Chains A and B, each alone.
Chain A
Amino acid sequence: MNVFVSGQYMTKFGEHFEKSLLDLSLEATFGALTSASLTKDTIDAIVVSNMLSDTLSGQGHLGALISGSLGLTVEAFRVEGACASGGIAVKKAVDMLKAGTHKNILVLGVEKMCDHSSSETTQALTNASDAEKEAFYGITFPGLYAMMARRYFYEYQIGQAELAAVSVKNHYHGARNKKAHFPKEISEKVAMTSSKIADPLRLFDCSPISDGAAALVLSSHEPQSQRKPVRIVGSSIATDSVSLQERKSLTSIKAAELAGKRAYIEAGISSNDVDVAEVHDCFTIAEILALEDLGFFKRGTAGYATMQKKTYYDQEMPINTSGGLKSCGHPVGATGVKQVVEITEQLQGTAEGRQVDNPQYGLTHNVGGSGATCAVHILTNTL
């Protein structure tokens, strides 16, 4: 059974003080429907991805909220897996299409984070860590990734310059994406002298707090639009312990390794066949781990490869052409869906200003928490 991306859309990521959770949701939904040349009445199910609406907007029950706001009565529900919610939503829609019970599914990722002070939003995000083992002791989210970075420094002898190179590269890409939250290039000096958040991580090692939405229409039949058909040929989720203390290693994310391996097997390809990837750079160290967990670079070498500019869009292994979470922004529920939007556009050749040269296979890697959930998708424009 084939699964096609019929349509895709993302709102601009950033501070949307004038728009509500629902406003962003509907903009993305109608954007994706227009892109698919489909009317809303052809949608037979809705999967919504969101992490924080209960905590920050006092709104649950998002499946029906979206369905009702579209005047539909279809099956609709929300999934949550912290920052991996989007990847989970895509996987659930893929599963439903493969089961043959639905034909056109709307996958909507949305997050409204900027209505609140950053300390309130940061507090809400802490829900993704282990409440009793980690948050209780004042260990923040950046603190968890900082401990992974510190351990990586210890095991592989890299330092802040390698981390900064990730941030500089993602801002270089984001500057070529008008939908990005921070579409600006930065220098290594700016990254390395920015304020300290959780040592060794500085402000420019951390993805921002953003509002935004992204939507896909996934279909079990070939789309009607004129663009190159793009299929999802690998779709996998793996999980591990929520707390860091129970992991065997801090310098790899087992859930990402497993999800990657399973997705490669399903797609019948290896990491060498991937031409472009969107990986979960919630913190700069997370991109380095991702590049090694997915098999793009050997253990301990991804930082050096980034310094050598190998992950720029016009080099050997283009990573995060959207600008990644760092520069494009990170409205958590939208991120995993947005990654598929970006890869679809790369595979259709419409990523203007940052287009990779004729890619055939693209991959998305969406992580929840400090690595407890990982969703990997593989897309292709080959038939």
Chain B
Amino acid sequence: MKKSVVAEWRRYEDRYRLMGSVCLLCKENFFPRVTHCVRCGSSDVRDRLFLREGEIYSFSKIHVSPEQFQKQVPYYVALIKLDNGPVISSQIVDVGSEKLFVGMRVYAVFRKVSGTGEQALTYGIKFRLTKK
């Protein structure tokens, strides 16, 4: 996909901090932000900043990647269940020799996501393993 500065810019609230939405009618949480509740259809939704802690719902170690992620290979991707929010998609970073498992505790950090050389750089939220 060709990167557009405008397309990146309009998502910065949910890319740079865990800003999602909550439906005031049915209380469902969403990340990233939505304009209408997917569950009940209400447009009565408000911004909601989720806590930075959660646990791994599922994960994979990527060995073959698209071109713009090739410098990061191998890297971990995961679905993370936020403690007070929904399941979201991201990466797990700074994993040393530790073996990942479902249910492992993680916390959010701010990192570069992709882009090198003349490409636009993109930033976003990734996760680190919580030290015991």
CA distance in complex: A1, B58 (Å): 46
Min CB–CB distance B62 → chain A (angstroms): 5
Q: Tell me which residues across on chain B come within 8 A of A199, comparing CB atoms.
A: 60-61, 63
Please name the residue on chain A nearest to B78 by beta carbon. Answer: A147
Number of A interface residues in the complex (CB < 8 A):
36
* Cβ B75 vs Cβ A151 within 8 A: no
Tell me whether A119 is interfacial, beta carbon within 8 Å. yes
Contacts of A140 in B (CB 8 A): 62, 64-66, 77
Interface size on B, residues (CB 8 A): 35
Report chain B residues within 8 Å CB of A146. 60
A274 to B75 CA separation, bound complex (whole angstroms): 42
Do B58 and A154 touch across chains, with their CB atoms under 8 A apart? yes
Q: Contacts of A147 on B, CB cut-off 8 Å?
A: 58-60, 77-79
Complex-state Cα separation, A250 to B58, whole angstroms: 9
Please state if A119 and B60 are interface contacts (CB–CB under 8 Å). Answer: no
A127: chain B residues at CB < 8 Å are 1
Residue of A at shortest CB range from B70? A119
Partner of A195, one of B63, B65, B86, B102: B63
Taken residue by residue from 151 to 185, chain A's Cβ proximity to chain B (1 for < 8 Å, 0 otherwise) reads as 10010000000000000000000000000000000
Q: Does A198 contact B (CB under 8 A)?
A: yes
Q: A150-B59, A151-B57, A154-B58 are in contact. Are A142 and B122 (CB under 8 A)?
A: no
B91 within 8 A of A: yes
Residues from chain B with Cβ under 8 Å of A195 in the complex: 63
- Minimal beta-carbon separation of B38 from chain A (angstroms): 7
**Partner-A contacts on B (CB < 8 A):** 1, 11, 31-32, 38, 57-69, 72, 75, 77-79, 86-91, 102, 113-114, 122, 124, 126
Return 20 A-B CB contacts under 8 Å, by A number: A119-B67, A123-B67, A131-B1, A137-B89, A137-B91, A138-B91, A140-B77, A147-B59, A147-B60, A147-B77, A195-B63, A199-B61, A199-B63, A200-B60, A201-B60, A241-B38, A244-B89, A245-B79, A245-B87, A250-B57
